[in-house]
Amino acid sequence: MDNERRKKLNDTLKKFNKKQKCEIFTMGNEIKTLDVISTGISVIDDFIGGGFKCGAHSGIWGVYSVGKTALMLMTIANAQRNGKLVCYVNTEKPIDRERFLFFGVNLDELVYIEAPHNAEHALEAMRTLCKDKVIDLFIVDSTDGLSPKSVQETSKGQERGLDKNNVASLPKTLSNFYNVVNSFVFKAKASVLWIGQARTKGIGSFFVHLGRSGGNAQDFYSYMTLAMRRGQNSDAPVQKFKEYFIDPDGKVRFATVKETIGFDVVIKLEKSNASKSAKEKSEIHIPYLYSDGFVNKVVDSDDVPVKIDAKNDEEKEIIKQFLIEKKPEDAQKLGLIETEPEECPIVELDKDSTIKNPKQQEDINDELDVKNIVKGVTLDSTVPPVKEEKPKKKGRGRPKKDKK
């Protein structure tokens, strides 16, 4: 491009931007790489290219009880630790306060919307926060719980009956919403996550398959789409336990048993525009533990936990007494006996040593006083020192005879 045309182009762009009162045109060299919101789980982050893209929409869907909400709560906690502002819209069932705290969510810093009256309330909240650029992560859990105003009321504001046909009301609402809010999300550099439930799709009994509701607009605007499902029971994480019980003969015995401590989750990358993510249609397996949530892997430990399998309180007390007397190492694991405190090493103190800390010097002086008192020397001037008696020397030669 010659200099004259380039100069004319720049003038045209400036005039147009000035007329529109915003920067519409820019040059390609001003394109910046947007950040991502990390989940805090390295296996998932590496799989999706570091995290969920800022300035874009991402979708996560799957069957119920597969860990979608748990993954969102762990992502919220990690984003808050990195100083991000998060808004969470709960359109489904109520979530206990303890559930948020279990995954490390800071409730004092969380913007929370629970059970919005209609879909427009939740979507308008997203547009407002993104337009004012005061949010970093916005989560809708889930789109299936959104109820458009057109489903609840007629055009005249009258309440609609449940027998009315409301075909494609939510897809229409979302399609119009994406067109309006997409630019605000991009300029705010906010990451928007849409959670969806799996629905059965198909034409009658032909080509029956699982998919998500909400229309094709979600797939079109989605920067990344993840599908989650449970893996096989054979892949579920297990842990060994040493279980004590009383046999029919009344003797205390134990057996090593394996117990399922979670389930296996399969995450499939259905769509991705990220250059650093895995290939589309690829899958990963990740364990979910009931005690910790998603973890990178289950580490086998040589320290086998101990459990008591008793039918009643009497058997439980018998087993406890047996462990205290016969198996103290297992009793310590259950907290039945306290561990012995470690002996502190005795350090010889030198009075001439230089100590910079006055408190430490005072402690050393106290130790030296104790040692002097033990030797029979006191530092108190009012009390005379104790003189040590020296043994008498024996004379040389034969002992003298006593004169009668």
3-state secondary structure 360-385: HHHHHHHHHHHHHHHCCCCCCCCCCC
Q: Is the pLDDT of residue 380 over 50?
A: no
Q: How confident is the model at residue 192 (pLDDT cuts 50, 70, 90)?
A: very high
Instruction: Give the integer Cα–Cα distance in Å for 308 and 317.
Output: 10
Q: Is the pLDDT of residue 377 over 70?
A: no
CB 143 within 8 A of CB 195: yes
Instruction: Give the integer Cα–Cα distance in Å for 223 and 55.
Output: 10
Q: Is the pLDDT of residue 190 over 80?
A: yes
H-helix or E-strand spanning residue 140? strand 137-141
CATH topology of domain 33-155+168-232+262-294: Rossmann fold (3.40.50)
Instruction: Give the integer Cα–Cα distance in Å for 42 and 285.
Output: 13
DSSP 210: E
Strands 52-53 and 262-272, how do they pair?
unpaired
Instruction: Give the integer Cα–Cα distance in Å for 66 and 371.
Output: 68
Q: What is the pLDDT of residue 158?
A: 72
* 79 Cβ neighbours under 8 A, 6+ residues apart: 37, 38, 86, 136, 137
Q: Which residues of 167-177 are buried (b: 16+ CB within 10 A; e: fewer)?
A: eebbbebbbeb
Q: What is the pLDDT of residue 262?
A: 96
Sheet holding 238-246, edge to edge: 252-260, 238-246, 306-308
CB 119 within 8 A of CB 127: no
Q: Mean of the per-residue pLDDT values for the chain?
A: 84
pLDDT digits (tens, 9 = 90+) for 85-102: 999 999 988 899 999 999
Paired strand residues for 227 = 61, 268
Judged by phi (left if over 0) then psi (alpha if -120 to 50, else beta), residue 211 lies in beta
CB 53 within 8 A of CB 188: no
Q: What is the pLDDT of residue 383?
A: 43
pLDDT digits (tens, 9 = 90+) for 20-56: 888 888 888 888 888 999 999 999 999 999 999 999 9
pLDDT digits (tens, 9 = 90+) for 258-268: 989 999 999 99
Q: Is the pLDDT of residue 362 over 80?
A: no
Instruction: Give the integer Cα–Cα distance in Å for 270 and 369.
Output: 77
Instruction: Give the integer Cα–Cα distance in Å for 284 and 275.
Output: 18
Q: What is the pLDDT of residue 393?
A: 55
Q: Is the pLDDT of residue 79 over 50?
A: yes
Q: What is the pLDDT of residue 382?
A: 43
Which comes out higher in pLDDT, residue 131 or 152? Answer: 131
- C-alpha separations of 339 from 107, 317, 319 in Å: 38, 20, 19
Q: Is the pLDDT of residue 127 over 80?
A: yes
* 115 Cβ neighbours under 8 A, 6+ residues apart: 90, 91, 94
Q: What is the pLDDT of residue 373?
A: 41
Is residue 163 exposed (0-12), middle (13-18) or buried (19+ Cβ within 10 Å)? Answer: exposed
Q: How confident is the model at residue 360 (pLDDT cuts 50, 70, 90)?
A: low
Of 285, 254, 253, nearest in space to 268 by CA: 285
Q: What is the pLDDT of residue 374?
A: 42
Q: What is the pLDDT of residue 20?
A: 86
Give 81-84 contacts, CB < 8 A, sequence gap 24+: 81/40, 82/38, 84/37, 84/136, 84/137
Helix (H, G, I), strand (E, B) or coil at 171: helix
Q: What is the pLDDT of residue 221?
A: 93
Instruction: Give the integer Cα–Cα distance in Å for 246 and 317.
Output: 11
The tokens describing 380, both together, are: 């108190």
The amino acid occupying position 317 is E
Output the pTM of the full model. 0.74
Residues counted in the chain: 404
CB 196 within 8 A of CB 211: no
Q: Is the pLDDT of residue 326 over 80?
A: yes
* 212 Cβ neighbours under 8 A, 6+ residues apart: 59, 61, 143, 196, 197, 198, 199, 218
H-helix or E-strand spanning residue 270? strand 262-272
CB 283 within 8 A of CB 289: no
CA 298 from centre of chain: 15
